[in-house]
Amino acid sequence: MADRFDLIVLGAGSGGLAAAKRAASHGARVAIVEGDRVGGTCVIRGCVPKKLLVYGSAYRHLLADAASYGWQIGPIEHDPAVLLAAVRAEVDRLNHLHIGLLAKAGVELVRGWGRFSGPDAVAVSGADGQQRELTAERILIAVGGRPQRPEIHGAELAWVSDDMFLLERLPEHVVVVGAGFIACEFAGILHGLGVKVTQLVRRDRLLRDFDGEAAEAVREAMAEEGIGIRFGCRPLSITGSTPGDLVVALDDGDTIDCGGVLLATGRRPFLEGLDLEAAGIAVQEGRIPVDGDQTTNVPTIFAVGDVTDRICLTPVAIDEGRAFADTVYGGKPRRVNHDLVASAVFSQPELAGVGLTEEQAIERHGSEGIRVHRARFRPMSRALPARGPRVLLKLIVEANGGRVLGCHMVGEHAAEIIQMAAISIGMGATKADFDRTMALHPTLAEEFVTLPD
């Protein structure tokens, strides 16, 4: 006999956890189904461990600059295995923490992989082979996404981003394939940990979803740091054996010998094994389309997060999950605003932005309809070492009225600064509002309120 709930959540990642706990707080009886570790991509194999690796790799630059501040440091050795193990330990801690938070919230964690057996039913296959049938008035799909491998010969010999957090040691040379934020972040991490990095980019620029000038500033800094970036080429095949003995053949006829290949070539919704057709759920171009209330084409089935393939960011999934629960179970109807979402690339240097890029602003308002205010300079932290990347700060402003349409930055603490800028832009701030704000000196952020007209 099936166990009955008010809500079944498929997937214990950021969106699913947020929805389940919030619905339970409103009095719903909730089950959350997860066949992998609780925490999802962000906690287990994404944002959190990646940012820890960024911090760890950044010490190379700090130690190199120490002498310019009077610190005499002797020979330095680094063991990436220690960092990788410490990151995994922290992930384990967070995994257990989230399990405890579910129990505290009164959400039942059902271990196993769930699939639809009807519009109100989910069959769960546990690791022990046991089957369990669940039914509910409503079902929420929050299974997230997975890295995708390009269809090239030998792709199975390469890593995807998930694999990077399982490594116990690093090779001397890694080829990174891709131009997006995952590729650029891992290129910086690996380089900072002493690995030679060659990044292969199919087109002619990095980070195409971000402001072009900001992306170019990142590329410039990466190249100056010694990361080899090859544009206009792609891998045709990967041969050899792992670990440590691979050959990447390129479409320009060249080959690269390396110890590892990271395929950072995008992610897609993880729909395999869900049996969506059993519930009549529509799929469009590999994703589950939803309306503003997160509702699929089936009125009692909902979806949040990366599986909808709209804005694939952890805070967006969390807010979608909470908005769903507040609307359905809390008597507080609300919809998520996807129009103004800040985003960051934890490259080295860091890039962050909110609002329209310069390219988007020109497309919407025309080149005569906007004004671009920018500053490019070496930050004070780089004054004594007298080297390192320059900072870029940029405001995109509507010519008629002065409303700030976009705010972008490349440099130290960019994400922290843009998070605060997002508040003012969301409130409709103008360039005059920025100008009226007294500068906090000496800081990087003060340049946003002292930009010349």
CA distances from residue 126 to 22, 112, 132, 351 in whole angstroms, order as listed: 26, 4, 8, 42
CA distances from residue 30 to 21, 104, 119 in whole angstroms, order as listed: 8, 13, 17
Q: Where are the domains of the chain?
A: 3-147+269-328, 155-265, 349-449
CA distances from residue 43 to 17, 120, 302, 342, 358 in whole angstroms, order as listed: 12, 29, 23, 20, 32
DSSP string, 179-211: SSHHHHHHHHHHHHTT-EEEEEESSS-S-TTS-
C-alpha to C-alpha distance for 274 and 270, rounded to whole angstroms? 9
Q: Which of 155, 216, 199, 175 is nearest to 359 (CA)?
A: 216
pLDDT at 1: 65
CB-count burial class (<10 Å; 0-12, 13-18, 19+) for 289 = middle
CB 271 within 8 A of CB 169: no
Structure tokens given for 64: 């190199």
Which residues, in sequence order, are CB contacts of 92 under 8 Å at separation 6+?
none
| Residue recorded with tokens 């399990």 | 99
C-alpha to C-alpha distance for 295 and 278, rounded to whole angstroms? 17
Catalytic residue among 96, 153, 365, 441, which? 441
Angle of CA points 210, 392, 379, to nearest 5°: 145
Task: Return the beta strands (E) in 19-120 as ranges.
Answer: 30-34, 108-111, 113-118
pTM over 0.85: yes
**Number of neighbouring beta carbons within 10 Å of residue 228:** 17
pLDDT at 335: 97
Sign of CA dihedral 35, 39, 42, 45: negative
pLDDT at 288: 98
Note down pLDDT in tens along the chain; length 453 residues.
679 999 999 999 999 999 999 999 999 999 999 999 999 999 999 999 999 999 999 999 999 999 999 999 988 889 999 999 999 999 999 999 999 999 999 999 999 999 999 999 999 998 888 899 999 999 999 999 999 999 999 999 999 999 999 999 999 999 999 999 999 999 999 999 999 999 999 999 999 999 999 999 999 999 999 999 999 999 999 999 866 799 999 999 999 999 999 999 999 999 999 999 999 999 999 999 999 999 999 999 999 999 999 999 999 999 999 999 999 999 999 999 999 999 999 999 999 999 999 999 999 999 999 999 999 999 999 999 999 899 999 999 999 999 999 999 999 999 999 999 999 999 999 999 999 999 999 999 999 999 998
**Number of neighbouring beta carbons within 10 Å of residue 223:** 12
Q: Which of 233, 49, 256 is nearest to 171 (CA)?
A: 256
Query: What is the CATH superfamily name and number for domain 349-449?
Result: FAD/NAD-linked reductase, C-terminal dimerisation domain (3.30.390.30)
pLDDT at 317: 98
Angle of CA points 24, 30, 36, to nearest 5°: 115
Structure tokens given for 45: 């194999």
155-265 and 349-449: same fold? no
**Number of neighbouring beta carbons within 10 Å of residue 187:** 27
Q: What is the CA radius of gyration of the chain?
A: 24
C-alpha to C-alpha distance for 223 and 281, rounded to whole angstroms? 46
One CATH from 3.20.20.10, 3.30.930.10, 3.40.640.10, 3.50.50.60 for 155-265: 3.50.50.60
**Which DSSP category does 446 fall into?**
G
Give the helix, strand, coil percentages of the chain, each rounded to 5: 35, 25, 40
Q: Which fold has domain 3-147+269-328?
A: FAD/NAD(P)-binding domain (3.50.50)
Which residues, in sequence order, are CB contacts of 209 under 8 Å at separation 6+?
180
CB 95 within 8 A of CB 48: no
Specify whether 441 is catalytic.
yes
C-alpha to C-alpha distance for 337 and 100, rounded to whole angstroms? 30
